[in-house]
A and B are shown apart, each in its own frame.
Chain A
Amino acid sequence: MSVATSNIFSMSNGQAADIANVTGMSLGDFRSSIIEAVKQGLRISALFGQPIEEGRLRLWAVLSHDARSVVHLLHADLDGDRYDSITPDCPQAHWFEREIFEQWKVKPCGHPWLKPIRFHAPYGQASQGRAEPLPEIGVTDFFGIEGCEVHEVAVGPVHAGIIEPGHFRFQCHGENVFHLEISLGYQHRGVERKLAGGPDRRTIHYMETLSGDTSVGHSLAYSELTEALSATSTPAKAQVLRGVALELERIANHTGDLGALAGDVGYLPTLSYCGRIRGDVLNMSALICGNRFGRGLVRPGGIGFDIDGDRRDELLRRLDLLEKDLSVAVGLLWNSSSVMARFEGTGTILRRDCLAMGLVGPAARACGVEQDIRRDMPHSIFQLYQIPVSTCPTGDVFARGYVRWLEIQRSVAFLREQLRGLPGGAAQLSPRPLQPGRIAVSLVEGWRGEICHVALTDSQGKFARYKVVDPSFHNWFALAYALRGQQISDFPLCNKSFNLSYCGHDL
């Protein structure tokens, strides 16, 4: 085991541990451990603050060691309202530290671009009764470039299409983009705060709507987390059907993305086909649980809906049709030179930069980084069935599209095998109450990438802190980075190739 992580607490994905067992350390050690670990190839999956007694803050870090299939937990208590920023030595911490600054008014000294990533009153403030005026939504200082030929283009938060709100500030020279700054936070709902004190009847519904297109991914992460915290096992059939739902969600979204990529370059055939096929995949989810987005399917202790033999056969039949239609529709993309001329070499991210920024999901795999929670941190059904990791070395829009297509094909193969060998038995066990004083981490490879849920329970077995890191949280900065030196007219295409969640980021 490496030096940096040898004395840090570790456990596997989807396990729980006593908080008391997790070694605390000084802030200096905390900082240097993270920097050293990331240098050795670990990733920051979560970095967040937890208020402890007397208004003090404890910083938690979850580091994923993909090569060893373990997650490391470390924490350090803060004495004042400032500490030395990790970001200058470890760019992965950039967004996390800005979030800590936003939520707890704790200043990471030396952070290169310190400002909140959302516009809400700090979490610490309400409890302490210090009423400062609320930050005005959307008002912030943007990075600017001066010069008589440089111009600034501001897009959003209201867009011409029906998409989520976000503000994009381009510094351009003619059609060339020097710099893009993305300002989010318009979708902030305060979900994380509402989750503290749970779980209650609302919790699962919050999970299913953290990001509407990732209902299964987030509810799966939550369910596995609470099962770890309550030491509940999941029936085999439920594990298989959860995997099926997760992969159906992946296929549906990837199909939609490929269609939308075609639409953004004005290529209508794939756009039209994929729009229809995405609907067919969503209807397959609906066949299982009655909801096209898989709501109500994944529940702590199992699944909310069992499927019978007829439905299974129907799913298998539709799967064959789906594979046939999709290979025609998507094949058109790779065979049209006019499309490939737009995809190739647009929005390129180098493998080196991808690792430095800590990208996750298809965006990372499109830079040639072999990283997939389903293989690296296997949980439930993925411990028994290994889905090959799909990568592409070029890091451009084409790579991000092509990785999606590879993943669709491999998910279809997974679905076919799992549905054919569907185990019998119960699909749902009643969940037990959560154990007090525990911490658990649950990582799930959602269609956008790594979903990280971390929960700490208090002495009553309620959530003292529940942290959600949507894959978009890791990847938004990469979109801004990918635009440097690109044409401003290629922004929508780059944006679509990442297709990040606004509400999943803003929570």
Chain B
Amino acid sequence: MNYGRLALPVLALALAPLLPGIINRTKAVIAGRKGQPLFQLYFDLAKLLRKGAVYSHTTSLVFRAGPVVGLISAAAVLLVLPLGGAAAPVTFSADLIFLAYLLGLMRFFTVIAALDTGSAFEAMGASREVQFSALAEPVLLMALAAIALAGQSSGSPLHGLPFCLSVIYSRLSLATWMHSGPALLMVAGALWVVFLAENSRIPFDDPNTHLELTMIHEVMVLDHGGPDFAMILYGASLKMWTLGALLAGLIVPVRTGNSFLDAGACVLGLFVLAVLTGVVESVMARLRLTRVPQLLVSAGFLSTFALALIIWS
């Protein structure tokens, strides 16, 4: 392990809660409101950590394990997550599968913790979450595979570990974009859909709604409070950072070879992504729940088509 590269996870742990702040601030500005402070999530986390937690008698150990496993998984993902051209501290072949499955583990524990409460609402949210993420996961894997192959075909030397995220992203450059731009644009579109869907943003989910019956992600965590809820919020912001970095690393092809500059450009791209998310939430309504799978499947087609385009071009 390269200890110098540990700066990337540390950066993520420190800056991730800023992303929801930027989204909310963007929405406030567009709506003409003053809005909440940029650092609101940090204040919320500090507040929640000072609180006690209340547990229902019907819940078991699973309910308490949910937030802990969720946060640990989200944090572990950061070990293999490159920021643009800057490599992650841990690299091994096919670590993109590791990333996808850690996110899956996080989801699995959130879902079984929700089911553990025995509440009809939470089970409803769990059912929706599982249905939608089952459709979003292949989109993510297809998209990453497409990026991996695009980097190879652009003529950069075939070295390093196969399907390793840090290698994939370090190979991606302006030249790759010149070579297979349309396919990468499709991949970016598919990743954008995954980013919005997996982070429960509009048009898939409404993070601000108070209406239990329409919630997807929020309803699963209704029964968590205090430090548990803080772990869930923090874990969610890390997940947003992770999926955002995968997209920002693609659309910001700054590869100077200087890790500081590369990572900095990627973080900047992440912030722009957060602003874009805020803009989307300000100008469009949520999809009807029955339409969500259609959009996710479309994204799946998009990434598969991009993959095919890269293979046979």
Contacts and interface: CB of A to CB of B under 8 A. Distances in A.
Interface in A126-161: 151-155, 159-161
A166 to B, nearest CB: 14
Nearest to B290: A487
Contact of B285 (A151, A160, A174, A336): A336
B210 to A, nearest CB: 4
B286 A160 contact: no
Contacts of A153: 120-121, 124, 213
A492 interface: yes
A489 B31 contact: no
A268 B282 contact: yes
Given A152-B120, A272-B33, A342-B288, A489 B213 contact: yes
A289 interface: no
Interface stretch (A12-20, A35-43, A226-234, A258-266): A258-266
B290 A175 contact: yes
A54 B213 CA distance: 50
A268 B27 contact: yes
A265 B285 contact: yes
B209 A266 contact: yes
A339 B203 CA distance: 11
B207 to A, nearest CB: 9
Contacts of B31: 268-269, 272
A88 B21 CA distance: 57
Interface in B13-70: 27, 30-33
Nearest to B124: A153
A491 interface: yes
A369 B156 CA distance: 70
B214 A492 contact: yes
Contacts of A155: 121, 212-213
B281 interface: yes
A106 interface: no
A161 B214 CA distance: 13
B308 interface: no
A267 B31 CA distance: 11
A208 to B, nearest CB: 28
Given A153-B121, A341-B291, A267 B214 contact: no
Nearest to A156: B212
A160 B120 CA distance: 15
B212 A265 contact: no
B100 interface: no
B11 to A, nearest CB: 31
A343 to B, nearest CB: 9
A339 B211 contact: no
Nearest to B31: A272
A266 B206 contact: yes
Contacts of B289: 175, 487, 489-490
B286 A342 contact: yes
A254 B262 CA distance: 52
Given A155-B213, A266-B281, A272 B291 contact: no
Nearest to A163: B210
Interface string B86-119: 0000000000000000000000000000000000
Contacts of B208: 266
A488 B30 CA distance: 31
Contacts of B121: 153, 155
Interface string A319-338: 00000000000000000101
Contacts, number: 89
Contacts of B286: 265-267, 338, 342
Contacts of B222: 160
Interface string A4-24: 000000000000000000000
Interface in B192-239: 202-203, 206, 208-214, 222
B280 to A, nearest CB: 10
Contacts of A342: 285-288
Contact of B287 (A152, A272, A341): A341
Contacts of B203: 266, 338
Contacts of A272: 31-33
Contact of A266 (B120, B213, B285): B285
Contacts of A346: 288
B3 to A, nearest CB: 44
B284 interface: yes
B270 to A, nearest CB: 23
B178 interface: no
A159 B211 CA distance: 8
A341 B264 CA distance: 40
B1 interface: no
Contacts of A265: 285-286
Interface string B254-268: 000000000000000
A487 B213 CA distance: 10
Interface of A: 151-155, 159-161, 174-175, 262, 264-269, 272, 336, 338-339, 341-342, 346, 487-493
5 contacts: A262-B285, A264-B211, A265-B286, A346-B288, A492-B209
The 10 A-B pairs with the shortest beta carbon distances in the complex, nearest first, are: A161-B210, A492-B211, A267-B285, A265-B285, A266-B286, A272-B31, A266-B206, A338-B285, A489-B289, A338-B284
Given A160-B212, A161-B210, A338-B287, 20 more contacts: A153-B120, A153-B213, A155-B121, A159-B212, A160-B211, A161-B211, A175-B289, A175-B290, A262-B285, A265-B285, A266-B281, A266-B286, A268-B30, A269-B31, A272-B33, A336-B285, A488-B124, A489-B213, A489-B288, A492-B213
